[in-house]
Amino acid sequence: MAKTTIRPFRPVYPSPAALIVSADLEGRANIVTLAECFNVSIRRPVIIGIAIRTATYSHGLIRSRGEFTLNLPTTALLEEVDGVGSVSGQKCDKFERFALTPLPSQQVGPPMIAECPLNVECRVLSEQEVGDHQLFLAEALAEHVDEECLGPDGKPDPQKLDMLVYACGAYFGAGERLGRHGFTRSR
């Protein structure tokens, strides 16, 4: 099969179209849409990475407070996700403008988003400048999941989460499950 070489731009995809909530020192919350969210360490401790442009309002809030919530929206929140990523929180209250409900967090100051079925409370451990973004590594202190999105094993069921993902400048819904990790071991 023939290959064409192109200039790399977000070459690893899809990634979650996540809503990150930060807050100023007085508690005023802001939301930013990020596709640069990923697992770094999956156990002992669980570490989440987010990368954000330093010019953004959210960057300054995360840096000053050292905490945020990561909220994974469903495909039904597509318009809100795109809208949140298209305006500055310095000019409006994004919770109010996009009719999203702040839900108090248990361990960090910034609230969670009630409409998102999965929320993670995070405390920043470190930050590093990486290209045109700032990489924040944060410990996941608590994960909250809507009960109806849990599988019989008590863990989040990706099919019930109706995940919204981002790839190549567009939003997509995550599809059906094709296999479970380790399914080839029985062959």
Residue 183 lies in a domain: no
Residue 115 lies in a domain: yes
Q: Which domain holds residue 67?
A: 15-176
pLDDT tens digits along 24-82: 999 999 999 999 999 999 999 999 999 999 999 999 999 999 999 999 999 999 999 99
pTM value? Answer: 0.95
Residue 120, SS3?
strand
DSSP H or E run through 159: helix 158-161
CB under 8 Å to 121, separation ≥6 — which residues? 67, 69, 105, 106, 107, 108, 112, 140, 141, 142, 143, 144
Mean per-residue pLDDT of the chain: 95
Confidence (pLDDT) at 178? 80
**Poorest-confidence range of 79-88, 136-145, 178-187?**
178-187
pLDDT at residue 187 tops 80: no
Task: Report the CATH number at residue 80.
Answer: 2.30.110.10
Residue 131 lies in a domain: yes
Residue 3 lies in a domain: no
Confidence (pLDDT) at 63? 96
Confidence (pLDDT) at 183? 83
Residue 126 lies in a domain: yes
Q: What is the number of structural domains in the chain?
A: 1
Q: Are 109 and 62 in contact (CB under 8 A)?
A: no
Residue that has been written with the tokens 């924040």 in this structure = 136
β-pair type (102-103, 67-72): unpaired
* Partners of residue 37 on adjacent β-strands: 50
Average pLDDT over residues 148-169: 94
Please name the residue ranges forming H helices in 11-115: 57-65, 78-84, 94-97
Residue 106 lies in a domain: yes
Q: Which of 128, 122, 160, 163 is CA-nearest to residue 143?
A: 122
Average pLDDT over residues 10-20: 92
pLDDT at residue 133 tops 90: yes
Confidence (pLDDT) at 186? 74
pLDDT tens digits along 112-121: 999 999 999 9
Structure tokens at 180: 């479970």
